[in-house]
Amino acid sequence: MTSVRLTSKLTGNTIEFIDEIKASGGMKDIYFSPDKSYVVGFFRNKSDPNQLERLRDICTRYRENLFNQSGGDYWESAFRWPHDLVERNGTIGVVVPFYENAFFFAHGSKNGDFLKIKGREKEGKWFSSASNREKFLDPREKGTYLSHLQICLSIARAVRRMHMAGLAHSDLSYKNVLVDPTSGKACLIDIDGLVVPGKYHPDVVGTPDFIAPEVIKTQHLDRKDPNRILPSVKTDRHALAVLIYMYLFYRHPLRGRKVHDQSPQRDEELSMGERALFVEHPLDASNRVRPEDLRKQSLPWGDPKARPYSMAGPVLKKLFEEAFIDGLHNPAKRPSAATWENALVRTIDLIQPCSAKCDMGWYVFDNSKAPSCPHCGTPYKGKLPVLNLYSQRRKGSYHYDDHRLMIWDGQSLFPWHIRTSVTPNEHLKQAEKKRVGYFQKHNESWWLVNETVVGMRNLSEGTVIPIGGKVKLEDGINILLSPEDDGRMSLVQMSGA
């Protein structure tokens, strides 16, 4: 194949690529570099000064603000952020790092890869539909319920960072997010259309299924009409909520049985826009999904009655209600990306492995006295400890943090569990990523083993738990997890029979 060399418009470096279109999107054609370390995406339309200025800012100022700050290294895998520009025949090309290997199918589809997707990128649509998962995916590509929660956390964290910088993605969807359910990784792509309020306006209104209702409702108005709603941080919040719902339940939160108009186009506009209604709305059942209307491959996940949104646990249940009931037609009430991130961290702390080793592998503890796996129905047998976490508002006065740590054999205790000043995000120092203790089941008794914390105490007995020592977890005991001013105390509760 012929190789093309162009001079960068930003650095003066030589950008080389193979002159063969390897992929095409809605606006660009993609070419690979010879060593596959980067790709060049050429816009099909001729460039204009505003587009060029936006792309320059994305490749320089906004990129530097992201990657040259504390925790900047973390974002290398969370985004595929453009870093250079070239021009060819009057069109602009953006230079973007190549995708990580994790984001390409290793096994392809079922039955000897009859879809020929082995080696192709893991676009999110494959993993957000119950029928796609069942009909097409090799079981080794599906991941677990835990890894899907981790995917959602990765997406929420990346969107939070963009919004903190005053940027909106404008087209957040499963088309622009790569995911890897085997590792729990996610990566946002197509960053070149970022919206900056008052400066750079959106090029597109979004991808169907993810466009906010107010955008669809006003899409008939002229773009300059002040009543026309265009993509922004608030519309990103809707798209983020839809993504999280779809990655956890493999169905769409608004696509139910209600018909609003005999015209398919008008019905689509109403059902996704002005009259959008959550399929699991507790007070309005008119958009409920009926199992008899679904294909066999979509069951049981396509049926909200069989797999209700409450399955994601009490923390996420509340946010889904805020997103799809309170905030569906009131953008100001939608949960922020930071709120989703915090909720997903707390939900992952509520995860429990299924004793039957079912397909999903894990489930979220529902605060019940008799927990069971909602995926396969297997009840948990025996006692199950839960740590309720408390922190100090003032010296010696502890208050509940609305944060619980579900215990399982081999579960780790991390610095962010024992100290409120440590948050599991991009700012974690290397030392803070290491566990400080672990939990172990032995002869039907549960134990917390202290590995590194000086001053851990069993407050119920007034005894120190030395490094290398352990404490038996029994209902009602209090453990001082860290004696620091930002240290937490925990109250042990026993669930299960």
- 256 & 196 share domain: yes
pTM for the model: 0.96
- Our measurement of the distance from residue 457's CA atom to the centroid of its chain's CA atoms, rounded to an integer in Å, reads 36
- CATH number of the domain residue 44 falls in: 3.30.200
- 328 & 431 share domain: no
Q: Is residue 224 part of a domain?
A: yes
- CATH number of the domain residue 245 falls in: 1.10.510.10
Q: Domain range spanning residue 437?
A: 382-496
DSSP assignment of 137-191 equals B-GGGS--HHHHHHHHHHHHHHHHHHHHTT-B-S--STTSEEEETTTTEEEE--G
- 89 & 107 share domain: no
Domains identified in the chain, total number = 3
pLDDT-derived band of residue 497, with 50, 70 and 90 as boundaries?
low
Q: Is residue 366 part of a domain?
A: no
- CATH number of the domain residue 474 falls in: 2.60.200.20
SS3 125: helix
Q: Is residue 65 part of a domain?
A: yes
> Cβ(254)–Cβ(300) under 8 Å?
no
Q: Is residue 360 part of a domain?
A: no
Q: Is residue 175 part of a domain?
A: yes
For residues 293 and 297, what is the distance between their CA atoms, to the nearest angstrom? 12
- 324 & 463 share domain: no
What's the mean per-residue pLDDT of the chain? 94
Q: What is the pLDDT of residues 1-25, one digit of tens each?
A: 799 999 999 999 999 999 999 988 7
pLDDT of 54 reads 93
Q: Is residue 215 part of a domain?
A: yes
SS3 30: strand
What end-to-end distance do the CA atoms of the chain give, in Å? 67
Up-side HSE of residue 149: CA atoms within 13 Å toward CB?
24
- 37 & 168 share domain: no
User: Stretch 450-468: mean pLDDT, rounded?
Assistant: 98
- 150 & 67 share domain: no
- 12 & 69 share domain: yes
Of the residues 58, 75, 98, the one at which a domain ends: 98
pLDDT above 60 for 149: yes
- 295 & 190 share domain: yes
Q: CA torsion sign, 291 to 293 to 296 to 297?
A: negative
Q: What is the pLDDT of residues 209-236, one digit of tens each?
A: 999 999 999 999 998 899 999 999 999 9
Q: What is the pLDDT of residues 414-444, one digit of tens each?
A: 999 999 999 999 999 999 999 999 999 999 9
Q: Is residue 336 part of a domain?
A: yes
- 140 & 245 share domain: yes
Of the residues 51, 75, 98, the one at which a domain ends: 98
> Cβ(153)–Cβ(344) under 8 Å?
yes
pLDDT of 24 reads 86
pLDDT above 80 for 183: yes
Of the residues 349, 372, 405, the one at which a domain ends: 349
Q: Is residue 398 part of a domain?
A: yes
- 172 & 192 share domain: yes
Q: What is the pLDDT of residues 280-336, one digit of tens each?
A: 999 999 999 999 999 899 999 999 999 999 999 999 999 999 999 999 999 999 999
- 195 & 342 share domain: yes
pLDDT above 90 for 154: yes
- 74 & 122 share domain: no
Phi, psi of 472 (to 5 degrees): -80, 135
